[in-house]
Amino acid sequence: MAKIGFIGTGIMGHPMASNLQKAGHSLFLTTHHDPAPADLVAAGAVALANPKEVVQEAEFIIIMVPDTPHVEDVLQRENGVIAGLGPNKIVIDMSSISPTATKAFAAKVNATGAQYLDAPVSGGEVGAKAATLSIMVGGDSQAFERALPLFQSMGKNITLVGGNGDGQTAKVANQIIVALNIQAVAEALLFAAKNGADPAKVREALMGGFASSKILEVHGERMIKGTFDPGFRISLHQKDLNLALQGAKELSINLPNTANAQQVFSTCAAIGGANWDHSALIKGLEHMANFSIRDDK
């Protein structure tokens, strides 16, 4: 079993770390930002003062934090991850961050003799708890093979996409698809309800046809019931779409539908919904239409 440093035990990281612990791996946690979760410590995890101390104890160091600046801080702060690195250690960043920044972080980590894998995930809190995450990996194939048993304790669909940065590129692509599917479902249900049809019955009918999807199944139900506790926060999806739109600018391509979805998310944030689940994109459309598909009209 492996010795794993796990940095970032929030909505996603906590159940991911728990699944690694249940698989028999030893966990080392840091208290430099927040207290270590009591349940993980009670089950044997060791809480240490800073990332450097975690790295010195661990063979694998997993980072699961919200955004690019957070990863940069964890890696490069005084007593950060890089300060404790050396040969035979593997840093696995499972956050969703900039592909461009990821390549720079990887170069700094690899220069220490350690290896860097970017391994962002898809599947949300549900997938994190159930250990069914999709994991998109960028980095060295030998490092990937060493880390594969860890990935298998957290996910089901695990793919080595390519070199450093390619995992993050795949995740950005994933977030484009998810956002546009959420918007498609939201617009369809809004159209149906405004036209006098029962959106729950419309969803039921669509589930049996070519329009069926996981988004329609899970988030369509959330939209109808109005259950918008995260999940995956709108603010985080906005961050991911910003990465897509910034990347598009760098590549001189146009992503018009991605930009439109981002505008609807911005409407949600403007009416107080930055921390709603991203399925609440429908509330931005409802706000613009002055109409709700639920009984909370």
Distance CA 84, CA 80 (A): 7
171 is a catalytic site residue: yes
pTM here is: 0.91
> Could you give the angle at which helices 99-110 and 166-194 cross, rounded to 10 degrees?
150
* CA torsion angle 144 109 57 2 (round to 10): 0
- Tens-digit pLDDT profile for the chain (297 aa)? 999 999 999 999 999 999 999 999 999 999 888 889 999 999 999 999 999 999 999 999 999 999 999 999 999 999 999 999 999 999 999 999 999 999 999 999 999 999 999 999 998 888 999 999 999 999 999 999 999 999 999 999 999 999 999 999 999 999 999 999 999 999 999 999 999 999 999 999 999 999 999 999 999 999 999 999 988 899 999 999 999 999 999 999 999 999 999 999 999 999 999 999 999 999 999 999 999 999 764
Beta-sheet pairing, 26-30 with 46-48: parallel
Per-residue pLDDT at 98? 95
Distance CA 251, CA 131 (A): 35
Active-site residue, selected from the candidate residues 52, 89, 171, 283: 171
CB 225 within 8 A of CB 283: no
Distance CA 251, CA 253 (A): 6
Beta-sheet pairing, 133-138 with 121-122: antiparallel
CB 60 within 8 A of CB 2: yes
**Buried/exposed 115-152: b ≥16 CB within 10 Å, e otherwise:** bbbbbbbbbbbebbbebebbbbbbbbeebbebbeebbe
Per-residue pLDDT at 141? 98
CB 272 within 8 A of CB 265: no
Distance CA 249, CA 272 (A): 29
Locate 11 and state its tokens: 């909505």
